[in-house]
Amino acid sequence: MAPLRPKEALLAGLERSAGARHTERTTLATIAASAGVSVPTVSKVVNGREDVAADTRALVEEMLRRHDYVPLSARRAGAASTTVELLIRGQFGAYTTQVIEGVVLAGAETGTSIVVGSLDDHRLPGVAPQALARRLAGAGRAGVIVVTGALTRAHIDALTLAGVPLVVIDPLNMPGAEVTSVGSTNFAGGMSASRHLLELGHERVAYVGGPPNSGCNQARLHGYRAALENAGIASRPEYVVNEDFLYDVGRRAGGQLLDLATRPTGIVGGADTIAIGILEAARLRGLRVPDDLSVTGFDDTELATMASPPLTVIRQPLREMGRVALKSVLQLAAGDALDSHHVELATELIVRGTTAPPPGAAPGRSGATRPD
């Protein structure tokens, strides 16, 4: 028989001892000895540090898995408290503030501690899935809630293997049925906002939305297009802009639309921040809202009522979405079955001061406040 190579010998030796698990606690020193590396190197891998060679990291992670290593912090946590981690993608704006508030209030009601962290969407693909899952499991998290995050298949699998329940709020990419998600009736909301403008008499209606690959943005855009189609109005490609849910996008894209030879008289904003940016683009061009231009937002954050004039919006129940997400992740942590792995909460049209009939047009029904 050919002699085993060093790595094969280590794994084979570990296999022979796997049936007789240590009665004592597995330590970093145990893992280091098994892998033939230093304790600091093992510590770096456990804590998700990147300054470890890929081959060494893979070997250490294999040893951690085979030894069923559980960090001391997780053992200390025990059942004394329940902690859920809430990871936010991008800026902590008005939207995320209301979601956080809903999660925190629900946590207070259930005796659950909430840890809020930042999930930078651009760095996520570079974070080792096992490192992310091990950090959450090692910290004793009962589960994790991700807000508008773009988790890869590898990250979802790693969290599943680590036994960390996952719930996603407004996922950028709609996950499979095995991932629990919470959102709102985005299609109905996009359709309702567009229909409101059409009923006021607008025929040139544009849409400015978020990332093209965002599931919630795609649904709102489809709702916009469905409303136009139902009204017998052709969608103009130049009237649709999808970039991000940001104020700067609204100001830039709004200006782009308002500078067209045939500019729209109504614009559906895919978020409150976008809509407020459009208001600024109109102001810079000397256009009056709603006399010269009607604008709608989406979310109904505090920005909507602070705007001048106050925004007509599609209201998302953001705090309730946070509550439902926490309830769901706690059910998963307890091993309880969920009624549905994707929950959509109703949106509602709130008419305020940024929408009116276009100049010279006879309005139809005004579209009173109503649920979708």
Residue-range domains of the chain with CATH:
81-183+320-345 (3.40.50.2300), 186-317+348-371 (3.40.50.2300)
**Is pLDDT above 90 for 320?**
yes
Consecutive H or E run containing 283: helix 272-284
Comparing CA positions, the residue from 209, 85, 78, 197 lying closest to residue 147 is: 85
Comparing CA positions, the residue from 182, 186, 220, 191 lying closest to residue 323 is: 182
Strand bridging mode 294-299 / 141-147? unpaired
Question: Buried (b) or exposed (e) across 54-78, using 16+ Cβ within 10 A?
Answer: eebbebbbbbbeebebebeebeebe
* pLDDT tens-place string over residues 258-275: 999 999 999 999 999 999
Whole-angstrom Cα distance, residue 98 to residue 148?
Answer: 14
Q: What is the DSSP letter of 237?
A: G
**Is pLDDT above 50 for 22?**
no
pLDDT at 80: 47
Whole-angstrom Cα distance, residue 9 to residue 96?
Answer: 50
Instruction: Determine the average pLDDT of the residues in 184-212.
Output: 97
Confidence of residue 76 (pLDDT cuts 50, 70, 90): very low
Q: Compute CA 50 distance to the chain's CA centroid, rounded to the nearest angstrom.
A: 25
Confidence of residue 12 (pLDDT cuts 50, 70, 90): very low
- Encoded amino acid at 165, one letter: P
Confidence of residue 362 (pLDDT cuts 50, 70, 90): low
Lowest mean pLDDT among 21-30, 38-47, 362-371: 362-371
Q: Where do we find the tokens 């508030």?
A: 101
- Burial label for 178, CB within 10 Å (0-12, 13-18, 19+), is exposed
Whole-angstrom Cα distance, residue 30 to residue 34?
Answer: 6
**Is pLDDT above 50 for 371?**
no
Omega before 357 within 30 of 0, i.e. cis: no
**Is pLDDT above 70 for 3?**
no
Instruction: Determine the average pLDDT of the residues in 287-301.
Output: 97
Tokens of 212: 């093209």
- Encoded amino acid at 289, one letter: V
pLDDT at 120: 62
Confidence of residue 152 (pLDDT cuts 50, 70, 90): confident
Comparing CA positions, the residue from 122, 84, 139, 151 lying closest to residue 322 is: 84
More confident residue, 337 or 13: 337
Q: What are phi and psi of 341, to 5 degrees?
A: -90, 0
- 370 Cβ neighbours under 8 A, 6+ residues apart: 192, 348, 349
The pTM score is: 0.74
Strand bridging mode 141-147 / 166-169? parallel
